[in-house]
């Protein structure tokens, strides 16, 4: 790829490439990132993308959310305009159209860059507190959902939302691999659909906010003392119902780990997971005040969203299949069924 005409969209001076990487390279998602230093000392992260969720309109909205985060004293590199005054540009590579945009070089390292050994839970409270701060001060809502969407699709390439897809994939895998649990999987699926149908009109009327929505350790910034500093990569951001967002595993909910599979039916383990959830809810409440409507519907929201949030449950199921620890399949099904039926949660 000829970088010179791409770099010159932002700075006409000579430059050197600090680093380049290609985080995604599939037929429907191609992304390239170039960390560039110009001779006048300006440093930029220039991103070249071709996928359904990177559009000129969306990059403009990402820029607005980055500015909103910075206004809340939550650091994130800002998207800068090209020399032409555009938030993003179009280039042609090999007869394919790509979108280009640029960010300031980040001031801090990511958690993943500093350490993969230290316990991430040490900075998790500060991450959660920032989410509560954003929820309480979301003056502008992006006109599209985040990648954590419920009921809505994230981009034009998707037919169903992630919540539905994760539940469907889970039940399908169980039925295909473990015929003896077909009826159990069917019961879980029908229960999920009932909860989802009941929650849909409620979901639409709950308070909303716009979030960064990609809370992996490669996107969370920390200073040299391992204190939370901010975020990078807003390309999965969007508007979400606050309650749905905070109950997911990546935020307040407990993220199941491989080591947990032997304890999924253990009362003490389940209680500890609840305590973890409540502890994180208290952190959210430092900045965000739950409405009566949210308090009334926390259980139904949790039932619908939490059991199949992101990849955790499907990841655990895939793990026990790969490692041939099939004695735990029933425990995973019991855990999902239990979470779908919870009526004992509170946020006050």
Q: What is the pLDDT of residue 45?
A: 97
CB 303 within 8 A of CB 202: no
CB 248 within 8 A of CB 148: yes
Confidence of residue 116 (pLDDT cuts 50, 70, 90): low
Confidence of residue 62 (pLDDT cuts 50, 70, 90): very high
**What is the rounded distance in angstroms from the CA atom of residue 244 to the CA atom of residue 176?**
30
Q: What is the pLDDT of residue 220?
A: 96
CB 217 within 8 A of CB 111: yes
**What is the rounded distance in angstroms from the CA atom of residue 301 to the CA atom of residue 203?**
8
For residue 183, pLDDT over 90 is answered with yes
User: How much of the chain exceeds pLDDT 70, in percent?
Assistant: 98
The structure's pTM equals 0.94
**What is the rounded distance in angstroms from the CA atom of residue 309 to the CA atom of residue 241?**
14
Q: What is the pLDDT of residue 118?
A: 56
Per residue in 220-245, pLDDT (tens digit) is: 999 988 899 999 999 999 999 999 99
Per residue in 238-273, pLDDT (tens digit) is: 999 999 999 999 999 999 999 999 999 999 999 999
* Closest to 208 measured CA to CA, from 246, 234, 235, 236: 246
**What is the rounded distance in angstroms from the CA atom of residue 55 to the CA atom of residue 59?**
6
Q: Is 196 strand, coil or helix?
A: helix
Domain architecture of the chain: domains with CATH = 3-107 (3.30.200.20), 111-340 (3.90.1200)
């Amino acid at each position: 790829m000829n970088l010179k005409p791409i770099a010159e969209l932002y700075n006409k001076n000579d430059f050197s490439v600090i680093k380049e990487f290609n985080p995604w390279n599939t037929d429907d998602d191609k992304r390239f990132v170039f960390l560039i230093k110009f001779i006048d000392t300006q440093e930029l992260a220039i991103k070249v993308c071709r996928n359904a969720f990177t559009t000129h309109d969306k990059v403009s909205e990402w820029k607005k959310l980055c500015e909103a985060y910075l206004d809340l004293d939550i650091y994130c590199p800002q998207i800068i305009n090209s020399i032409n005054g555009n938030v993003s540009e179009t280039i042609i590579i090999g007869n394919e159209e790509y979108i280009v945009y640029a960010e300031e070089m980040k001031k801090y390292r990511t958690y993943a860059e500093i350490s993969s050994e230290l316990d991430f839970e040490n900075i998790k409270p500060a991450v959660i507190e920032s989410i509560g701060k954003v929820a309480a001060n979301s003056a502008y809502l992006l006109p599209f959902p985040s990648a954590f969407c419920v009921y809505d699709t994230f981009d034009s390439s998707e037919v169903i939302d992630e919540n539905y897809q994760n539940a469907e994939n889970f039940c399908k895998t169980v039925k295909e691999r473990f015929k003896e649990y077909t009826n159990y999987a069917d019961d879980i699926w029908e229960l999920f659909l009932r909860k989802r149908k009941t929650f849909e009109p409620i979901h639409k009327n709950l308070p909303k906010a716009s979030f960064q929505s990609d809370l992996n350790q490669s996107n969370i910034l920390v200073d040299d003392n391992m204190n939370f500093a901010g975020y990078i990569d807003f390309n999965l951001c969007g508007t979400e119902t606050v309650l749905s967002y905070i109950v997911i595993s990546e935020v307040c909910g407990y993220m199941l780990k491989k080591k947990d599979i032997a304890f999924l039916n253990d009362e003490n383990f389940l209680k500890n997971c609840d305590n973890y959830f409540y502890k994180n809810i208290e952190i959210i409440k430092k900045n965000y005040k739950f409405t009566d409507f949210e308090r009334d519907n926390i259980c139904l929201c949790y039932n619908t969203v939490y059991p199949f949030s992101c990849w955790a449950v499907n990841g655990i199921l895939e793990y026990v299949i790969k490692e041939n620890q099939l004695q735990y399949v029933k425990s995973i099904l019991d855990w999902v069924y239990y979470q779908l039926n919870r009526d004992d949660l509170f946020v006050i």
